[in-house]
Amino acid sequence: MIKIIKQTRAMGFGNHLKNRVSSKSLLSKGTKMIYSIFILAVFFLSSCRPFKDVYAMYQTDSARTGQVVIIPSEPTIWTSVTLNDKLIVKDANILSVRIGNVPEGYATISYTSDNSSYKEKLDQEMTVNVIRGKETTKLIQVPPRSSGSWISGTLWGLAGVAVLILILTQV
């Protein structure tokens, strides 16, 4: 807080000046509140990466190939996908994965999410039969969230509200 020094006349001493410190702030209450809300919004939104549909090509040659589409039952975070031991996606937030130019025949898909908030580890491996010119879709069942993740989320939310209250009471 910036302090403004006022000069006032001391009573009974004629023209002698006495310094008195005032604790008036240069920022108004409304400005402080806007800054507080902006800082909290940046704090809460900065840790969120958006979920996305991922499009990848397995190889450049498109002769005798098909497509594989992988759709989780709910969006997954920190997800990695391999196809025939070739890394396709690494640590992404996934809505779906579409892999083009996959050679026809059988292919092995590995779908892993490094998220500790699930009750069980999400690490699925499956074999798909890719047909030339066709799209093969596989659904991934995502495990339910553990009760610890709900408690943690609630505590973080309450901490954010407490910080907001502390900032606004200082206004």
Ranges of each domain in the chain: 1-48, 52-145
Strand partners, 135: 67
167 vs 164: CA distance, rounded Å: 5
- Give the pLDDT confidence score for residue 95 in this predicted structure: 95
Q: How many CA atoms lie within 13 A of 85 on its CB side?
A: 0
- Give the pLDDT confidence score for residue 156 in this predicted structure: 77
- Give the pLDDT confidence score for residue 21 in this predicted structure: 46
- CATH superfamily of domain region 52-145: Immunoglobulins (2.60.40.10)
- Give the pLDDT confidence score for residue 1 in this predicted structure: 44
Residues 83-105 as b or e (16 or more Cβ within 10 Å = b): beeeebbeebbbebbbbbbbbee
Q: Can you list the residues of the chain whose pLDDT is less than 50?
A: 1-23
In eight-state DSSP terms, residue 76 is E
CA-based nearest residue to 78, from 115, 49, 109: 115
Give residue 23's identity as a one-letter amino acid code.
S
144 vs 106: CA distance, rounded Å: 30
